[in-house]
Amino acid sequence: MAVKILKRRPLSLLEKTYLPQILIGLKITLRNLFRPSVTLQYPEERPDIPEGYRGVPTLVKDANGREKCVACQLCEFVCPPRAIRITSRELETGGEDAHIEKAPDEFEIDMLRCIYCGYCQEVCPEEAIWLQDVFSISGYSREAMVFDKEKLYQLGGTLPDNHFKWDRKKAEEEAAKRH
């Protein structure tokens, strides 16, 4: 295979001084100097979060402050990167929560593995896991980025429950006992 060598033309005196390139750069700088700023001064200014944004998955409580999670482990099974780990415990029969069989003893989400797909929220039958609009989380170590149940409830807080599922079941059970 033959190699063709291309000869470069010599630079002119104006090109040797680099003045055309400097003037082009100054022209771009001056043009952008008088435009409105597009830079956000984060964290003082926050971006507008669009509707339906899928941020950090968190656990939420109902309006009465009770755990909504019943440790069904559907979110753990559906999670593509296996970021969720749940250890369940059996609840005592009888009492206020007689209609609930299990509760999460441990609930962890590894935020370094989470891909924010939203499958966990979609599959949860109790609406216990919710994607918040938090987009900036940080930690100093890998262990700090594994959020436990307390941290997830702290981030999630309380979500108003529109159907009051457990209260309705309790009222139905009491009505059935009376009749």
Whether 24 maps to a domain, the answer reads no
pLDDT in tens, 114-151: 999 999 999 998 889 999 888 888 899 999 999 999 99
Whether 6 maps to a domain, the answer reads no
DSSP 51-120: TT----EEE-B-TTS-B------HHHHH-TT--EEEEEEEPPSSSTTTT--EEEEEEEEETTT-----HH
Whether 25 maps to a domain, the answer reads no
Per the structure, the complete domain to which residue 174 belongs is given by: 57-178
Whether 171 maps to a domain, the answer reads yes
CA 9/CA 3 separation, integer angstroms: 19
Please calculate the CA angle 64-57-164 and round it to the nearest 5 degrees: 25
pLDDT of residue 113: 95
pLDDT in tens, 84-116: 999 998 887 766 666 677 889 999 999 999 999
Whether 28 maps to a domain, the answer reads no
Is the pLDDT confidence value at 161 over 70?
no
Whether 48 maps to a domain, the answer reads no
CA 106/CA 77 separation, integer angstroms: 16
CA 141/CA 144 separation, integer angstroms: 5
Whether 4 maps to a domain, the answer reads no
Structural domains counted in the chain: 1
CATH number at residue 65: 3.30.70.3270
Whether 103 maps to a domain, the answer reads yes
This model's pTM is above 0.75: no
